[in-house]
Amino acid sequence: MQDEKQLQPEEFEREPVPASHWKSWKSFLGMYAGEHAAGTEFVIGPLFLTAGVSAFDLIIGLLLGNFLAVLSWRFLTAEIAVKNRLTLYFQLEKICGKNLVKIYDLANGVLFCFLAGSMITVSATAVGIPFGMRMPQLTDTMPNGPTWVVIVLVLGALFTFIAAKGFHSVSKAANFMSPVIVLGFLLAGFAALRQLDVHSFSDFWNIWGEGTEPFPGQIKYTFWHVVIWSWFCNAAMHIGMSDLSVFRYAKSPNAGWTTAAGMYVGHYMAWISAALLYAAYMKTPDAIAVLASGAAPPVAPGPLAANAIGFLGIITVILAGWTTANPTIYRSGLAFQAIMPKASTFWVTVIAGTLATFAGLFPAFAMKLLDFVAVYGFILAPVGAIIVFEHFFAAKFGITKNYAERSGISFNLAVLSAWAFSGVLFYFVSKSQGVFLSFLTLPAWLMCGLLYLLFSKWTQKKME
């Protein structure tokens, strides 16, 4: 017990990280490269192809969208993190109050569980190959058989056990698996190019060409769909400020540039490699037969990778889902523990893993990953605007920083009002006008930040 107490301050959960624990940019480079070349990439790449993107839309759109994400990390997240050196949760508690933060923690924890569940689904598509398991279709929402259920439950239990053992186990597993995953993506991409008989850049470009009609149940992606979606697929992490908890250890805001490793190894190379896998798979007799029936070939990462590089592809998919599910379940457990501070870390992580495993039984979370990630960022990103706008504009608006802490309130109504109003308004616009939700993440973020300043100006003055 004494040893545990001695180790606790090293996390600096409720204090700024001291200079003795600051880390150089090299500490962040490998982490971002590994975290963003993961299980999600095996699903997202093929889904871009099912959305009928053209070569220009995909290749140039991803270049621009990922660059905008890097800029967001560098000039917003890393800038504020190095200035305050606090976790997201503690920073929000100072602004929002302890009771309001619990609402955010609950939303964050549940959404993390759904994301982890989709990664259990990804790994299950690889484990199921030797058992002849029927793979989930793009339109599947429910479990498709007992084999699927058993495999998901076993994988969920394994991933949850590793996550519940703590950050050291999660980090150790990721460091061991990440090089294999990156290598697997590269080899799979080259193998797919060979299967597609690509011998020149024009051959490569013509895989997408001018684009096609989207598959049934998918929407047509244009250049701006690709740009905006790739910018905001990690909106919760950068403009949503979740990675304050990471960059608070950085010596300089320039560490934010290391996110480019994740964006261009994972969200560029890996997405395109996964899209190539799907393009190659659509040339197989099985896929041709599905297309002939008027349905869409399944976007099942296991068979796609196995079709390209055999057993190594199966291993890559299992590990890719594993390395994403582990830290996601761990983060979800931390969010739940903030709500139940007296509960042990182990058991709240088990609760998170159980919920993630239950979500993994339903293929819809993985098959609709583009839509889910858009919703995830849309819900959580505006909370980051509260921190950003207060950091840069509090003095100009004449409002008090960290008002909940200084006034002793536990529920800052200005925060909840700004978050709820902006979210409800733009979600209604998306549904009523048929606007792609990711197009509205930035407007919702900007409105939330501005409303927070205006509401704070009024409420703080009224409460003086």
Give the model's confidence band at 8: pLDDT under 50 very low, under 70 low, under 90 confident, else very high.
very low
Residue 4 has pLDDT above 50, yes or no: no
Q: What is the mean pLDDT of residues 358-368?
A: 77
Phi (first) and psi of residue 153, to 5 degrees: -65, -40
Q: How far apart are the first and last CA of the chain?
A: 44
pLDDT at 227: 94
pLDDT digits (tens, 9 = 90+) for 198-228: 989 999 999 888 888 887 767 888 999 999 9
pLDDT at 450: 96
Q: What is the DSSP string of 377-396?
A: HHHHHHHHHHHHHHHHHHHH
pLDDT at 51: 84
Domain range list for the chain: 22-368
Q: What is the mean pLDDT of residues 78-87?
A: 91
Q: What secondary structure letter does DSSP report for 23?
A: B
pLDDT at 416: 93
CATH of domain 22-368: 1.10.4160.10
pLDDT digits (tens, 9 = 90+) for 169-184: 666 666 677 778 888 8
d(CA 223, CA 243): 28
> How many CA atoms within 13 Å lie on the side-chain side of 448?
28
Q: Is 395 exposed, middle or buried (0-12, 13-18, 19+ CB in 10 A)?
A: exposed
pLDDT at 140: 65
Residue 330 has pLDDT above 80, yes or no: no
Q: What is the DSSP string of 46-111?
A: HHHHHTT--HHHHHHHHHHHHHHHHHHIIIIIIHHHHHH---HHHHHHHHH-HHHHHHHHHHHHHH
pLDDT at 6: 39
Contact 426, 444 (CB under 8 A): yes
Q: What is the dihedral of CA 368, 373, 375, 376, to 10 degrees?
A: 140
Report CA-CA distances (Å) from 185 to 305, 323, 378: 9, 14, 29
d(CA 272, CA 2): 50
pLDDT at 443: 95
Mean of per-residue pLDDT scores for the chain: 83
- For the record, the structure tokens of 315 come out as 């291993």
pLDDT at 173: 67
Q: Is 415 exposed, middle or buried (0-12, 13-18, 19+ CB in 10 A)?
A: buried
- Burial code (b: 16+ CB inside 10 Å, e: under 16) for 285-318 equals eebeebeeeeebbbbbbbbbbbbbbeebbbbbbb
pLDDT at 392: 94
